[in-house]
Amino acid sequence: MELRLRAPAPSSTRGTVVSPTLHRRSSALPIQKRLAGSSISVSRRGAAARSPCSTLMAAAYNTGTADLVDFNWDTLGFQPVPTDFMYIMSCSSDGVFTNGELVPYGPIQLSPAAGVLNYGQGLLEGLRAHRKEDGSVLLFRPEENALRMRIGADRLCMPAPSVEQFLSGVKQTVLANKRWVPPTGKGSLYIRPLLIGSGAILGVAPAPQYTFVVYVCPVGHYFKDGLSPISLLTEEQYHRAAPGGTGDIKTIGNYATVVSAQKRAKDKGHSDVLYLDPVHKKFVEEVSSCNIFMVKDNVIITPLLTGTILPGITRRSIIEIAGNLGFQVEERLIEIDELLDADEVFCTGTAVVLSPVGCIVYHGRRVEYGNGKVGAMSQQLYSALTAIQKGLAEDSMGWSVQLS
């Protein structure tokens, strides 16, 4: 990857993007040495005094080798773990993104009038990188995330990085943090691209400047019990999205609105929340952060994308994998009563991968699936998907991108 990046010139204009204030971590030094002979440059600008938390994390992880950090990979869950570098690229009012750079992972300073802080003008994406046995790293369908971010940006009146810029930022960030990619079978590196309105704005209007950020974090299973079946509580008061809204893009506001219902569900012992449509209140839509499927008489069915459901990349991949395996797949409206009568139910998403559903509670009625075991269809599709993602099976679809 032939790309030399330089730091943007400092700005003295009030109300523009404030230069990132970043905590430098001593654990980044081996990476800087390893990158010294590569075509990727690392900015050393913006270093600040290290916080106590950052100091402790650096002390804990400043061991191991240049290829793999010394870390107890068996303890990985799905929570933040500071890594070495992140990627930042900005654009001004002309809408052109330039001067992307790798910088030490740490806080980003924003104006309190930033568009993302005041009016939620922001998008997020999520994808994973897996380490193969030969040490190389695989990305799964990253161009789909780039395209989805561009669609969301158009909806929120934001400029967006080109597909090439998005992919370059993701690849550079993963390679700079390669020692944080868990060993084969121990997890994956979760990649979080962000696009935010970083410029100051007081009235309701598009922000004058925007920032594209990519950071990474090693993760294990999203749900604490891994592939074990999860429990869903059907939400009867709130709705995740409405027709004509933003339910079909990954805007940050979509996730803030599900936290209350999700917390109530977890307080009752459930894993997550199942949402119904806001008009008829009987058609299944999706879970808080993932799509949903059902299996009936060996037919795989998932809700039709009607504008209120996120077009998940894992969802699309499962549909294509199932079709290649010879299964009948239907995308159509699903009433809640039909879901409760299914043979199997499972969720899909970048974070959850494929999670079987063990029970759903609706109007106080508890319906269980599979006697607490993973269904045969769920297991087959999970195995087929993850084999491609981890490089254990031939990628006849051309989905994987290998980083050496």
> What are the pLDDT digits (tens) for 218-231?
999 888 777 889 99
Q: Which residues, other chains included, contact 134 with Cβ-Cβ below 8 Å and sequence gap of 6+?
A: none
Q: Which residues, other chains included, contact 256 with Cβ-Cβ below 8 Å and sequence gap of 6+?
A: 120
**Number of CB atoms found within 10 A of residue 359's CB:** 18
Residue 104, beta-bridge partner list: 85
pLDDT attached to residue 59: 38
pLDDT attached to residue 40: 57
Site of tokens 């106080």: 364
Site of tokens 């943007």: 8
pLDDT attached to residue 92: 78
pLDDT attached to residue 174: 98
- Which of 36, 38, 31 is closest to 2 using CA atoms? 38
Contact 372, 227 (CB under 8 A): no
Give the 3-state DSSP-derived string for 113-158, with helices as H, strands as E and coil as C.
CEHHHHHCCEEECCEEEEECCCCCEEEECHHHHHHHHHHHHHHCCC
The three-point CA angle 258-347-306 to 5° equals 70
pLDDT attached to residue 44: 53
pLDDT attached to residue 223: 83
DSSP label at 294?
E
Residue 359, beta-bridge partner list: 231, 368
pLDDT attached to residue 65: 57
CA 277 to chain centroid, in Å, comes to 24
pLDDT attached to residue 94: 86
Q: In sequence order, what E strands does 16-108 have?
A: 22-23, 47-48, 85-91, 97-104
Q: Give me the residues of the chain with pLDDT under 70, please.
A: 1-66
pLDDT attached to residue 66: 63
**CA pair distance 108, 110, nearest whole angstrom:** 6
What is the SS3 assignment for 82?
Answer: coil
- Please, how many CA atoms are within 13 Å of residue 80, restricted to the half-sphere of its CB? 9
Contact 284, 357 (CB under 8 A): no
Structure tokens at 389: 């993602």
pLDDT attached to residue 108: 95
Tell me how long the chain is: 404
- Please, how many CA atoms are within 13 Å of residue 333, restricted to the half-sphere of its CB? 9
Positions marked active-site = 250
Q: Which residues, other chains included, contact 151 with Cβ-Cβ below 8 Å and sequence gap of 6+?
A: 249
